[in-house]
Structure 1
Amino acid sequence: MFNRRVFLAFVASLPAFSAHAGEADEAIAVVRKLQDSQIDVLRRAAQLTLKQRFAALRPALDAAFDLEGMAKLAHGPGFDELPAAERADWIKSFGDYVAATYAQRFEFVEAKGFERDAKAEPRDGALVVSTRMIPVSGEPMPIDYVVKSTPQGWRIGDILANGSISELTQWRRALRGLALAELRKRAGNLLEP
Structure 2
Amino acid sequence: MLTKRKFFQGMLVATAALAVLFQPVAYAAETKEQAALAMVKNIGDEAVATLADTSLSDEQKQDRFEKFLDSSFDMNRIGRFVLGQYWREASETEQSEFLKVFRDYMVTSYADKIGSYSGENLEIKDATSLNDKESLVHSLITRPNGPPIKLDWRVRSTDQGAKIVDVIIEGISMAQTHRSEFASVVSQPGVGVEGLINKLKEQIKTASNK
TM over 0.5: yes
Instruction: Give the RMSD, CA atoms, in angstroms.
Output: 2.9
Alpha-carbon distance in 2 for matches of 1:37, 1:101: 21
Alpha-carbon distance in 2 for matches of 1:172, 1:28: 26
Alpha-carbon distance in 2 for matches of 1:62, 1:72: 16
Deviation of residue 160 (structure 1)? 0.9
Alpha-carbon distance in 2 for matches of 1:41, 1:90: 31
Tell me, which stretches of 5 or more residues in structure 1 are unaligned? 2-19
Alpha-carbon distance in 1 for matches of 2:87, 2:69: 21
Alpha-carbon distance change, 100 to 53 in structure 1, aligned in 2, over 3 angstroms? farther
Deviation of residue 40 (structure 1)? 5.0
Alpha-carbon distance in 2 for matches of 1:188, 1:65: 23
1:55 pairs with 2:63: yes
Q: What residue is the counterpart of 2:199 in the other structure?
A: 182
State which of 105, 108, 127 in structure 2 corresponds to 1:120. 127
Alpha-carbon distance change, 104 to 174 in structure 1, aligned in 2, over 3 angstroms? farther
Alpha-carbon distance in 2 for matches of 1:38, 1:88: 31
Structure 1 contact 34–61 (Cα < 8 Å) conserved: no
Q: What residue is the counterpart of 1:170 in the other structure?
A: 177
Partner SS, residue 139 of structure 1? strand
Structure 2 contact 136–152 (Cα < 8 Å) conserved: yes
Q: Give the AA of the match of 2:32.
A: E
Greater C-alpha Rg: 2
Partner SS, residue 120 of structure 1? strand
Deviation of residue 27 (structure 1)? 1.1
Alpha-carbon distance change, 136 to 146 in structure 1, aligned in 2, over 3 angstroms? same
Q: TM-score, normalised by structure 2?
A: 0.67
Q: What residue is the counterpart of 2:48 in the other structure?
A: 39
Deviation of residue 114 (structure 1)? 1.0
Deviation of residue 33 (structure 1)? 3.9
Size of the aligned set, in residue pairs, is 172
Deviation of residue 110 (structure 1)? 2.2
1:137 pairs with 2:137: no
State which of 26, 34, 42 in structure 1 corresponds to 2:35. 26
Structure 1 contact 128–145 (Cα < 8 Å) conserved: yes
Partner SS, residue 150 of structure 2? strand
1:191 pairs with 2:208: yes
Alpha-carbon distance in 2 for matches of 1:130, 1:150: 20
Deviation of residue 41 (structure 1)? 5.8
Q: Identity rate of aligned residues, in percent?
A: 21
Q: What residue is the counterpart of 1:72 in the other structure?
A: 80
Alpha-carbon distance in 2 for matches of 1:182, 1:172: 15
Alpha-carbon distance in 2 for matches of 1:134, 1:90: 35
Tell me, which stretches of 5 or more residues in structure 2 are unaligned? 6-28, 187-192
